[in-house]
Structure 1
Amino acid sequence: MKLVMQTLNNIPIITTNEFYSEGFSKLTENGAKVYHFPMINTSNLNSYIDISNYNCLIFTSKNGVKYFLKNNNKIKGKKIITIGLKTAEELKNYGFKADYICSRNYSNEMSNELKKNNVLLNQNSLLVQGNLSNNSLFNELKKFAKIEKLIVYKTNYNTKKDSKLDDLLNEEPYVIFTSPSCFEAFNNLYETRKTRLISIGKTTTSYIERKGFKTTTTAKMQTYEGISESIIDFFKKNKQ
């Protein structure tokens, strides 16, 4: 523990997701200077749907749960599938329990898992996502399941530069990106090459690389806690 404390001591790390999460608290505990500058915000699309046509709901994010239930809260008796424990925990906050929790959140891995375990067999399913989600998961699921897609929230980019963040970039901080949209919004406003980039997973890393940048490290587990662990492991192996 002492070694980690020395390694992370006063290293500036910036989080860019919509809301600060206690999942990053381990970074602060280990001596890092953590700053939160949200690059995105989400808004409700008021997407009401007659859910009597479906007996299975698939949620891929906490935002999907939150905004869907703002407009469609009569889901008792429906089979509910979530990606990961965090989405299942968000569902529990509203008094509902996931019937099946997918272990991984990449499109091909999730679809393969659901197909292998016959989770969607004889189900009329509804996939709940945001406006920036691509069609890869939906297209994979359509190959073996009866499914439709509903967009329930919109992701909006932050378009105003923050002078405090701009000054902080002179310290060459590590910046955590939890989605391609967080990176896109940041890259539109700031000098990305002044920073060292950390990614939540393969999808975000691929997007960053397509934009001509490289990541310092990519989390092994696609959670805020997973990012924190990956950062600590990175500094253990690369003492500065």
Structure 2
Amino acid sequence: MKAKIFLLSEKLFEGASNLPCIKIEFLKKSVDLSSYEALIFSSKNGVLAIENIDKTWKTLPSYAIGSATASQINELGGVVAYSAKNSYGNSFADEIKKMLEGKKALFIRPEIVASNLNTILKDTGVLLDELIAYKTVCGVCKKDEKPSSESVIIFTSPSTIECFFKYFDWDESWRAVVIGKVTASYMPKGVKYILSVEQNIPACIKLANELLFGKKI
């Protein structure tokens, strides 16, 4: 089999083959947004989740962890008050904590948060509530879907690592691209990886192409 670039999710991106080791489940929730002055999103999934819960979220200023999240907010008609310069949760919290100090904000979050974003904001005086609106679960990967030798595997979250290694043992011919330092901290010992300079999927795919084909694109 020909070596490929594998992205471990259901989302389609040009230049990568999908191996859906994870999937997102949106939780049935209700919330009264009338008392909040700001919304905080740490991923595109949070934006999609609140869109399903209460469409009035678009009237509130939104604080986004990165360009992909900000683009999703804009696409659905929301108001981006701030887009993070750094896509790490703790750094994002440091960037916005003074802007939101003393304000009542709602963090639209996943079931498991890999950073201390919520704690940092609360400790700074942000009146923060949290709405667990979605969760990541392992998809079903079959043994015959195992990536071919020399392939490049892209890991975009701690969950992709957990679920990939649930189904497959690491092949030493594979190469791993990891989206950020937090995700990298979950990689099993002994598995070598290359960290993407930018914390977004297109940048990871670009790096994977350079590894696979030996040239920059």
What is the TM-score when the length of structure 2 is the normalising length?
A: 0.88
Other-structure match for 1:215: 192
CA shift at 1:141, angstroms?
Answer: 0.9
2:103 — aligned with what?
123
State whether structure 2 residue 12 is matched by structure 1 residue 20: yes
- State how far apart, in whole Å, the 1-side matches of 2:38 and 2:62 are: 6
Specify the SS of the correspondent of 1:98.
strand
The reply to whether residue 147 of structure 1 matches residue 125 of structure 2 is no
Tell me if the contact between 1:107 and 1:140 (Cα under 8 Å) persists in the aligned partners: no
Task: Point out the structure with max Rg over C-alpha.
Answer: 1
Match of 1:56 among 34, 38, 41: 38
Deviation at 1:46, TM superposition (A): 1.2
What residue identity is the alignment partner of 1:219? S
Specify which of 193, 205, 208 is matched with residue 184 of structure 2: 205
For 1:215 and 1:89, the matched residues in 2 are separated by 32
Query: % of aligned pairs identical?
Result: 27
Per-residue CA distance 1:116-135 (angstroms, 9 max, x = gap): xx310331011111112246
Cα distance change on mapping 1:96 and 1:187 into 2, 3 Å: same
The size of the alignment, in residue pairs, is 213
Task: Name the CA distance, whole Å, in 1 between partners of 2:60 and 2:143.
Answer: 44
Residues of 2 paired with 1:213 and 1:18: CA distance? 27
Which deviates the most, 72-81 or 85-94?
A: 72-81
Separation in 2, partners of 1:12, 1:140: 40
State how far apart, in whole Å, the 2-side matches of 1:71 and 1:177 are.
Answer: 29
Preserved CA contact (<8 Å) 1:131 1:152 = yes
Letter in 1 for 2:137: N
2:184 counterpart SS class = helix
**C-alpha separation in 2, matches of 1:176 and 1:75:** 32
State the shift of 1:158 in Å.
1.6
Structure 2 residue matching 1:105: 3-state secondary structure: coil
Counterpart in the other structure of 1:193: 171
Contact conserved, 1:198 with 1:215, CA < 8 A, in 2?
Answer: no
Q: CA deviation at 1:197?
A: 1.5
- TM-score for both structures, normalised by structure 1: 0.80
Distance 2:153 2:202 in 1: 15
The answer to which structure has the higher helix fraction is: 1
The answer to whether the Cα contact below 8 Å between 2:23 and 2:138 also exists between their aligned partners in 1 is: yes
Q: Could you tell me how far 1:237 is from its partner in structure 2?
A: 7.8
Q: Offset at 1:230?
A: 2.9
- The residue identity in structure 2 corresponding to 1:20 is L
Amino acid at match of 2:185: S
Return the match for 1:133 from 96, 103, 113. 113
Change (3 A) 1:141 1:192: same
Partner SS, residue 50 of structure 1? coil
Residue 139 of structure 2 corresponds to: 158
- d(CA) in 1 for partners of 2:36 and 2:55? 14
Matched-pair contact (CA < 8 Å) for 2:152–2:212? no
The answer on whether the counterparts of 2:42 and 2:64 sit within 8 Å (CA) in structure 1 is yes
CA distance in 2, matches of 1:50, 1:15: 36
Q: Report how far residue 232 of structure 1 moved.
A: 4.7
